[in-house]
Amino acid sequence: MSKTRYKNQKESNEAIAKAYIENDYTNSQNKLLLVSKANYGKISSNVCYSSVDDKGMNFYEFNKNAERNLMLIERYEWSDFSSVTINHSITKSAFTFVGHDKNRDITIEVKGKEVEQVIRNHSSMEVNVVKRPVWTKVLGYRSQTSWKMFMASTIYTLILLFILHALLPAATHNFIMELASLVLFLSIIGLLIGLIKPKWVLPKFKVKTRKRVLFSYLYLIFSCFFIAVAFTDGESTSTPASTQVSSSQNSVTVASKKDGADSSKQKVEKNDSDKAVKEEAKQKAEEQAAKEEAKRKAEEQAAKEEAKRKAEEQAAKEEAKQKAEEQAAKEEAERKAQEQAAKEEAERQAEKQAAKEEAERKAQQQAASQQATTSSSTSSSGNYKPFENDPSDDQQSNMSCSGQIKGNKNSKIYHVPGGAYYDRTQDNIVWFCSEADAQAAGYRKSQR
């Protein structure tokens, strides 16, 4: 498969690989079932693809800059393995093939369940599928690595936090912030205790180690901190200030009741300011939500247009294919009609030729009959002249006598019935009624 073709046709790597593999299977006895990206453990910078057929699977290494974009590097037959263990995740599936003399670890992207179905339908291998909770298939939890799970949990918590902040009413923000602060404080205490006695703070966990305490409680601390920060809006930030103002007013009231009216006025102004800040924050949130909604709609519209374009391209391809089939059928019909007409013309010409030959033969027979009649009359009058038939006619029925002697006009030799050359002599024949007539005409008898 040449590199030049794919530079002219701006195809994706997967399309190039699929076209090459389909071409590779053209003359193969195996039936190609699917093509997918794969990894079979080889360290390489190039992408690998696998082709799955009814007898096994091929592995190809892709290199777009090479003369041959795809190169076959290995093939596995289903019959080489006795069992397979499959571990499915969201984006890929890990296959561990166990054979009599070798094992293979293979990773198939996206189409792992289809490969599993092929193995079940076309091989006698024992198939074992690893069963695990759904959450272990989520990105970040598949490897069961502590730091990866910690990072994934933190990111998912932040995403959930932004969603809740947009959905929950502003009146609940203060309560959520205070609750998160309380849990944050308790988590810090739990972390300190757990580093000393892990089993005191991990009652529900089977593995009670300081590492588990560290990751679990750090996750709680970070989550509660982010929640407290996220739900600290204008109203919540103003609450401590108003509490301080209230306390100072109480102290001032105790010191002097004259400032009471001024303090009430300041409190009203402060509340008005807090409301304005709250309204501004709410307006910004609505604007952000409107922007996100517009962006989402634009993406949906682009997706619809892309789907419509693909559907139109598919329809155009099908229409072109249909027209090509109709054109081929039309040409085939015209060819058959021409063949039929030529056949009928040949038959008609053959019939004409046969009729012409039949007419000529009848004319020759009639002429020979007339000549035989003339010869007979001449012989009876005493002027004998032997009958000479048409070179292609060796019949004696047109003679007046029952001639049995056959002479060759060119060799001047006559043959009697039973002679070696009697039946072989068929051209330039002269018939005689007796040997005496033949000898009188200057012919001599054949020696055989």
Residue 307's pLDDT is 93
Residue 369's pLDDT is 62
Q: Which residues pair with 432 in a beta bridge?
A: 405
Q: What are phi and psi of 37, to 5 degrees?
A: -65, 150
Residue 305's pLDDT is 93
Residue 381's pLDDT is 40
Closest CA to 448 of 410, 421, 426, 423: 421
Residue 420's pLDDT is 83
Q: How much of the chain is helix, strand and coil, in % rounded to 5? A: 60, 15, 25
Closest CA to 241 of 214, 266, 259: 266
Q: What global pTM score does this model have? A: 0.37
DSSP secondary-structure letter at 209?
A: -
Q: Rounded distance, CA 128 to CA 196, Å?
A: 43
CATH 3.30.420.300 for domain 3-132, yes or no, is no
Taking each helix axis from N to C end, the angle separating 210-230 and 146-167, rounded to the nearest 10 degrees, works out to 20
- The 8 Å CB, 24+ separation contacts for 104-108 are 104/40, 104/76, 105/40, 105/41, 106/38, 106/39, 106/40, 106/41, 106/50, 107/38, 107/39, 107/40, 108/36, 108/37, 108/38, 108/50
413-415/444-445 β-pairing? parallel
Residue 256's pLDDT is 47
Q: How far is CA 26 from the centre of its chain?
A: 14
- Taking only the tens place, the pLDDT of each residue in 209-248 is 888 888 888 888 988 888 888 888 644 444 444 444 444 4
Closest CA to 197 of 436, 174, 189: 189
Taking each helix axis from N to C end, the angle separating 173-194 and 234-255, rounded to the nearest 10 degrees, works out to 90
Residue length of the chain: 448
Residue 393's pLDDT is 52
**329 Cβ contact partners less than 8 Å away, ≥ 6 residues apart:** none
Q: Round the average pLDDT of the chain to a whole number and report it.
A: 79
Residue 395's pLDDT is 53
Q: What angle do CA 172, 175, 177 make, to 5 degrees?
A: 105
Residue identified by tokens 């000549």 is: 371
Flag residues of the chain having pLDDT under 70. 1-11, 41-45, 66-67, 134-137, 141-144, 233-268, 367-403
Instruction: Delimit the domains of the chain by residue range.
Output: 3-132, 148-231, 405-445
Identity of the amino acid at 81: F
- Taking only the tens place, the pLDDT of each residue in 371-384 is 555 454 444 444 44
